[in-house]
Chain A
Amino acid sequence: MISWAHPGAILILGAILIPFLKGGVKKAYLLILPSLAFLSILTMHEGTYWVAQFLGQEMIFGRVDKLSTIFAYVFAVAAFVSMVYGLHVKEDGHHVAGFVYAGSAIGAVFAGDFLTLLVFWEFMAFSSVFLILYGNTTKAYNAAFRYILVHVFGGVCLMAGIFLHYSETGSLAFGHIGVGGLSSSLILIGFILNAAVPPLGAWLPDAYPEATISGTVFMAAFTTKSAVYVLIRGFAGAEVLLWLGVIMAVYGIIYAMMENDIRRLLSYHIMSQVGYMVAAVGIGTEMALNGAAAFAFTNIIYKALLFMGTGAVVYATGKSKATDLGGVYRTMPLTFILYMIGGAAISGVPIFAGFVSKSMIVSAAAEEHLPYAWLFLTLASSGTFLSTTLKLPYHTFMGKDKGIEAKEAPLNMILAMAIAALLCVFIGVYPKFLYDMLPYATDYRPYTLDHIVWTAQILLLTWLGFYILIKKLHHSEPHISLDTDWFYRKGAVVFMGFADEVIASVDNAVGRAYDKVFLRFGEWMSKLSFRFDTGVIDGILDGMGRFSSVYGPAFSLRNLGFDKDVVDGIVNGVSDFTVSLASAMRRFQTGLVSDYAFAILAGLLILLNVFFFLF
């Protein structure tokens, strides 16, 4: 038997009613919707459901198996927790965007074909951007604009890849793809852009900290983890992902350590965490893929908890920079304690969720005997503890008391954090709950003596290093860090300036070249033809005329007419044509960069169309 309604549809269609409800009814409704979605997943059985025909293609909305179900569960939980946390938000549009976003993520996870996946993929991008726009600052608007541009680029890559894949295989079924060929590369680019793999990942730390406080909690869950899901489906065992993931895990840590804005620090840290999952997909063994799914599941919960904790601080103090914060634990002790539970969980402290999930990935690297991957992932583990659980709380909650006036976070925020904290401890103490949901059967045992002793040493000595170097970690002044978004933020400006100058000078040069080559050529042609006309043809005709004048004047007159009308006409016509061609070509040279950009874009679109229809 199949569930009575698609869980994604419950959230997306259910969201339509939100603006019509008021007060307590609305609040109840906001919590009932994700609960219904969760119940709907609970009643599902493995199989393929909700198949629709569209333009002669099968759209599969319900590919239900263990892999899709575990992601759907945690997405429903994340939607519920984020909604509790954002219950005080006044704007209906914010709630609608949140539910459409969560529903699309669940829809993408259950999609059995590329067409359905693509639809939900685009829905995710276009609904989540509202959570940034509701941030309501100029910074947020600009970040939202960049966010949507980057995701449209990713979406176009994915779409192009899917169409090419269809032309190659004749099928839109979404199964294992594997690396190789243009279509697979384009799909992979679309996927890893959403997973925020560098150098395509700068959109994440650029946009997430500018979103609303509860919007960031939503965003931390869905886009990157649904990307991990599709990578598991399509690219399990692709070695390139192992290395990208390992680089990403360290990259995120280094940037997190450099960051002054606390929500941006956590955003960079998402990259590091997703790096583990991407690396696990690259390893591709059953243990690794189990690890990726388990880590995604637990990470969504404790990452949400961390974002909720920092969000509560931002909400209560109006400050988000480490350089402005300090000593907040005095006024927000509950937030502090709940944040630290999330910190312990993400660092993999025994009895918390991270200990039972992250270690599966590291163990999978050991089992496949990948020493470098193991070393870098373990280094990133130390960095996780250092950045999110030592440095951030030290600068925010502890540290110098800056006398910041703040009240404890509102009840709904505390409640949401408490639910997440409870789940972190529950999964840590009773990992069987998590392991039973994993895509492959496992007998992995996290609580062995080796593992506990090994983890404890890493964590304790990381703390020691932090304690010794604590003075070095103060940010002397506020700052930002450059990332690959430089290329489309500053680089674009530099490029446009460069382009203006270069294109203008090229344009001038081309103009001069036209003057020189085409116009001179035209002049030269007409002169030459004039000489040819006067010298050769006239000469011949004169000669013929003289010759003929001997034989008959009438003959000569006819020849004169031929010379004047026909030959002169042709010669003048040729030079006129070259002159007019040259001036017509000059008209294309406007010197406006936008015109060239448009021409290039139009050309690309035509190329794309040619690709789709030819192959």
Chain B
Amino acid sequence: MIRPDRIFEDPQRKKTFKGVAYALMALFIAVDFIMPRHHAPFFWDEIPGFSSVFGLAACVLIIAVSKALGKFWLHKKEDYYD
């Protein structure tokens, strides 16, 4: 039995959490393929799974851009203004 204050370090729980997350992903993408579309203002609204691709791409893009900007330009030592 794991202590409640170590709940997030339990490898079994971590595994379960990941399993649930992947299952949900699969479920929502599957629903996206069969669900009727009443309202599709943009062409990509017709593409099943578009928001999955977009979500992943957005996340990677944000991380890449912020990392690059920080590394090559905007990050300075903490005493920069002193």
Residues of A within 8 A of B (CB): 253-255, 257-258, 329-331, 333, 366-367, 369, 371, 374, 378-379, 382-383, 386, 398, 448-450, 453-466, 469, 472-473, 478-483, 489-490
Contacts and interface: CB of A to CB of B under 8 A. Distances in A.
B66 A480 contact: no
28 contacts: A254-B69, A258-B74, A366-B41, A371-B42, A379-B58, A379-B61, A379-B62, A383-B59, A448-B38, A449-B31, A450-B38, A453-B51, A456-B28, A457-B32, A457-B52, A461-B54, A461-B56, A464-B56, A464-B59, A465-B63, A469-B59, A469-B60, A479-B77, A480-B77, A480-B78, A481-B76, A482-B75, A489-B81
A460 B63 contact: no
Given A472-B63, A479-B75, A490 B81 contact: yes
B14 to A, nearest CB: 11
A254 B76 contact: no
Nearest to B81: A489
Nearest to B77: A479
Contacts of A448: 38
A481 B70 contact: yes
A453 B31 contact: yes
Contacts of B55: 382, 457-462, 465
Contacts of A489: 81
Interface residues of B, number: 43
B49 to A, nearest CB: 7
Contacts of A483: 74
Nearest to B41: A366
A330 B56 contact: no
Contact of A330 (B5, B39, B62, B66): B5
Contacts of B75: 258, 479-482
A460 B62 contact: no
A253 B70 CA distance: 13
B1 interface: no
Nearest to A452: B28
B41 A460 contact: no
Nearest to A367: B41
B13 interface: no
Nearest to B60: A465
B32 A258 contact: no
Contacts of A454: 32, 51
B37 interface: yes
Given A378-B58, A382-B55, A450-B35, A473 B41 contact: no
Nearest to B79: A480
B63 A473 contact: yes
Contacts of A383: 58-59, 62
B30 to A, nearest CB: 10
B59 A386 contact: yes
A481 B52 contact: no
B5 A333 contact: yes
A378 B62 contact: no
A398 B41 CA distance: 40
A466 B56 CA distance: 9
B67 to A, nearest CB: 7
Contacts of B53: 461
